[in-house]
Amino acid sequence: MKTNRRNFIKISGAGIGTAAIGSSVFSWANGDLLNSAIPTPTFTSKTPTYCEVCFWKCAGWVTKDENGEIWKLEGHKDDPHCNGRLCPRGTAGVGMYHDEDRLKTPLIRVEQNGKQVFKKASWSEAFKVIGDKMKTIAKEYGPDSMALFTHGSGGKFLGHTLKAYGSYNITAPSFAQCRGPREVAFISTFGEGVYSPERTDIRDTRCLVLIGSHIGENMHNGQVQEMSEAIDKGATIITVDPRFSTAASKSKFWLPIKPSTDIALLLAWIHVIINEEWYDKEYVEKNTFGFDQLKDHVQTFTPEWAYGITTIEPKVIRETAKEMANASPAVIVHPGRHVTWYGDDTQRLRAVAILNALLGSWGRRGGFYNPDKVSIPDFPHPPYPNPKHTWKDAADGKFDLATEVVSNALVDATIPNENRDWNIKGWIVNGTNLIHTLPDQERTFKAIEALDLLVVIDTMPMEITGYADVVLPECTYLERYDSIRNSPHREPVISLRMPAVKPKYDSKPDWWIAQQLGFELGLDEYFQYKDIEEVLDWQLKKVGSSLAEMQKIGVKKLKREYDDLYFLEGQENLFNTNTGKIELYATDLANAGFPPMPVYTEHAQPQPGFYRLNYGRAPAHTFSRTSNNPNLVDIMPENELWVNPKVAKQWALKNGQYVWLKNQDEKVSTFSIKVRITERIRWDSVYMAHGFGHTQKKLSRAFGKGASDTELISNVMYDPAMGGTGMRGNFVTILTEKPETVEAS
């Protein structure tokens, strides 16, 4: 289906809420300043930071007024992640600091009159409980029976403590619940991953193909800005999404694909581009391995074949393939980010990688650039002990191609299994609300049940803190130093976060928590520094700066060592794959027993009366972490259920009515969700933003607001290659009457 701006205006005019935010998203990226109406106070001081509201990590400044109160947060103009502009969530980051529901002191679980309660504790009491338990675990089961789940900046410090203690079971949900399949697929194809920020050269692209990626609702800052810039410069946007997303509204082509059938579309595009000889012949000849096998492989995957599967007309498939070819090599078939959908995600992302290879976009301007980063040396410490077990020992040879630790495999390794002599016995959970983050909550609860020790480090009382033996309150990013941000970009760049204000209550930074826990465990030799300033200054001096300099400038760009942002004409390219070429035929997948070229698998479709549960991002929120933020609650207090008018009619639903949902496994949503009737969703699916439906009563603004998608994701489609948790194979039916729900915690 072709769209243009006029018919978007019509649609968004008829819609509500998100549609309005949707269009403002891009005007924000075009440079409208959010804070322009605020008068400047008489005296201000500025300290550098980088944002922790999401993982794009934009660098910025914290400005304080004459009373030393935080007055505003703004973007750092030298920072390529943000180009001087924070997104609305980033501007509202100060709400994390002000939130009166914050964790205030360490808490220890105790029994009182036969009931388990949290007792306020001092830090030394809390460390004593944790240290004693960790020493017992090390003695009885081995130190590799401890695991660390961590998401966010402080993970490096705690990871160091865990490795010094003797465990490498350190995992972030951003691999197996998020970008893992694309990293594995791109490493298989090009010998390198996509990384974060993505190495997509969007600002100079002439054609951007978004498959699911809903940039604009997915508010990763620099990426939204570059897409806006590309549109202004006349780039074609092609969006493949069963839902009319904000990105779809900016697109020349919107392909409302039948959910779960993308691989068929990708194979048909590959078929057309090869058979019409629209690929970059010289590039393919010179750089790739396996072209002939690929050509044979796709012969039957015609647009007519794909039409029957995807519902996308053959003419549209050919026309969009031609658009891509016309733009080549300045074309990006975007790899997406949260790509754990249907369990065959590595296969889908391989098809995406192959398409980019055929169009010659890898290593080319307007395609994928070669990023560079500053490597920050570790502060000197003795070597870490070698652990006897890692998660792989519990995975029975599964997920062989995983390039990072698989969170869900650590959960499995925690659930006792009589065929295994090694189980995980203790978790430290830092900055990840596993109850909302991992699908199949029953499994998460089963693992938590089996633990001897659960330590949770968070800024807020979240669902996961309710299950902890010990809760440690971290101070917010505005109150602390952290590790140097050295993410890869077009130019190597570093950024400093330092405290703008003193930690509120009895909260402490992760670097301090990690060091004190190290002392408690007798690992003093690994922590031979007075404080973090000593470590940062030492590290910064190694890379040509200093703490004093970074405190003043916040962001420092360094020179690229080589002129290799793009491939040079006439240059021989060597890729880090088995063949040294871009592998259209993936030898590592073949060696591990997986299909070396992408295959389409048919997935289950909803039964009558059920709808596929689709979910995604809301521009004003980040996962479950901002739903209590006083500044953001005002913009979006709850999520809504997008329902097609045809479905609404069948169920006699009205706009604004509250309903409950029940999935294929009889899981019922704890809370109700408000119906939003809209043409923007297909009739076979319903849609909601992730991150709502909090059951933690201590979240005074977020408790009971909206519904949780995670509660309804009990069917997980595991990616056999790398352990990713496909979450989109769940179906829900609508309950208009209040069911007997579980009592919330």
Residues forming the site for Mo ion (CB under 5 A)? 178, 338
Q: What is the DSSP letter of 671?
A: S
Q: What is the 3-state secondary structure of 379-415?
A: CCCCCCCCCCCCHHHHCCCCCCCCCCCCHHHHHHHHC
Partner from ligand MGD, Mo ion, ligand SF4, none contacting 189, C-beta within 5 to 8 A by type: none
437 touching ligand SF4, by CB under 6 A: no
The sign of the CA dihedral 26, 27, 30, 36 is: negative
Query: Which string of b and e fits 700-733 if b means at least 16 CB within 10 Å?
Result: ebbbbbbbbbbbbbbbbbbbbbbbbbbbbbbbbb
Output the six-digit token pair for 713. Answer: 């994701």
Q: Are 425 and 453 in contact (CB under 8 A)?
A: yes
User: Which stretch in 55-63, 94-102, 152-160, 250-258 sits in contact with ligand SF4 by CB under 6 A?
Assistant: 55-63
According to CB under 6 A, which residues from 86 to 115 bind ligand SF4?
A: 86-87, 89-90
What does the alpha-carbon distance between residue 217 and residue 9 come to, in Å, rounded to a whole number? Answer: 17
Report the residue number, 137 or 178, with the smaller CB distance to Mo ion.
178
Minimum separation from the CB atom of position 151 to Mo ion (A): 9
Q: Distance between terminal CA atoms of the chain?
A: 46
Partner from Mo ion, ligand MGD, ligand SF4, none contacting 51, C-beta within 5 to 8 A by type: ligand SF4
Q: Are 667 and 709 in contact (CB under 8 A)?
A: no
Minimum separation from the CB atom of position 90 to ligand SF4 (A): 2
Q: What count of other Cβ atoms lies within 10 Å of the Cβ of residue 537?
A: 17
Partner from ligand MGD, Mo ion, ligand SF4, none contacting 58, C-beta within 5 to 8 A by type: ligand SF4
Helices 262-275 & 314-327 angle (0-180, nearest 10): 60
734 touching ligand MGD, by CB under 6 A: no
What does the alpha-carbon distance between residue 385 and residue 15 come to, in Å, rounded to a whole number? Answer: 59
According to CB under 6 A, which residues from 33 to 52 bind ligand MGD?
A: 52
Output the six-digit token pair for 517. Answer: 């826990």
Q: Which residue has the tokens 């995406």?
A: 352
Output the six-digit token pair for 98. Answer: 């002000």
Minimum separation from the CB atom of position 275 to ligand MGD (A): 23
Partner from ligand SF4, ligand MGD, Mo ion, none contacting 53, C-beta within 5 to 8 A by type: ligand SF4
Minimum separation from the CB atom of position 354 to Mo ion (A): 24
DSSP codes, 548-576:
HHHHHHSEEE---SSS-SSPPTT-----S
Partner from ligand SF4, Mo ion, ligand MGD, none contacting 90, C-beta within 5 to 8 A by type: ligand SF4
According to CB under 6 A, which residues from 205 to 244 bind ligand SF4?
A: 219-221
Phi, psi of 136 (to 5 degrees): -65, -45
Minimum separation from the CB atom of position 28 to ligand MGD (A): 12
By CB under 6 A, name the one of 19, 29, 82, 493 that touches ligand SF4: 82
Kindly list the distances between the CA atom of residue 64 and the CA atoms of 45, 91, 320, 425, in Å, as whole numbers in the listed order.
5, 14, 51, 45
336 touching ligand MGD, by CB under 6 A: yes
User: Which stretch in 46-54, 122-130, 406-414, 555-563 sits in contact with ligand SF4 by CB under 6 A?
Assistant: 46-54
User: Which stretch in 63-71, 200-208, 252-260, 638-646 sits in contact with ligand MGD by CB under 6 A?
Assistant: 252-260
Query: Radius of gyration (Cα) for the chain, nearest Å?
Result: 25
Partner from Mo ion, ligand SF4, ligand MGD, none contacting 617, C-beta within 5 to 8 A by type: ligand MGD
By CB under 6 A, name the one of 56, 127, 289, 718 that touches ligand SF4: 56
Closest CB to ligand SF4: residue number = 90
By CB under 6 A, name the one of 21, 54, 121, 521 that touches ligand SF4: 54
Nearest alpha-carbon partner for 181 in 731, 730, 727: 727
By CB under 6 A, name the one of 499, 616, 693, 723 that touches ligand MGD: 616
430 touching ligand MGD, by CB under 6 A: yes
Minimum separation from the CB atom of position 95 to Mo ion (A): 21
SS3 157: helix
By CB under 6 A, name the one of 144, 583, 709, 719 that touches ligand MGD: 709
Output the six-digit token pair for 321. Answer: 């393939």
Those residues with Cβ within 8 angstroms of residue 360's Cβ, 6 or more apart along the chain or in another chain? 279, 280, 283, 284, 328, 329, 367
202 touching ligand SF4, by CB under 6 A: no
What does the alpha-carbon distance between residue 577 and residue 590 come to, in Å, rounded to a whole number? Answer: 13
174 touching ligand MGD, by CB under 6 A: yes
185 touching ligand MGD, by CB under 6 A: no
Q: Which residue has the tokens 């947060």?
A: 73
What does the alpha-carbon distance between residue 499 and residue 62 come to, in Å, rounded to a whole number? Answer: 9
Minimum separation from the CB atom of position 337 to Mo ion (A): 6
178 touching ligand SF4, by CB under 6 A: no
What does the alpha-carbon distance between residue 48 and residue 42 come to, in Å, rounded to a whole number? Answer: 20
Report the residue number, 210 or 298, with the smaller CB distance to ligand MGD.
210
Report the residue number, 338 or 667, with the smaller CB distance to Mo ion.
338
By CB under 6 A, name the one of 214, 497, 676, 705 that touches ligand MGD: 214
Q: Which residues here bind ligand MGD, judged by CB under 6 A?
A: 52, 54-55, 151-152, 154, 173-174, 177-178, 211-214, 218-220, 240-243, 245, 257, 259-260, 262, 336-339, 430-433, 436-437, 439, 457-460, 462, 474, 476-477, 614-617, 619, 621-625, 690, 709-710, 713, 727-728
Q: Which residues here bind ligand SF4, judged by CB under 6 A?
A: 51, 53-54, 56-58, 82, 86-87, 89-90, 219-221
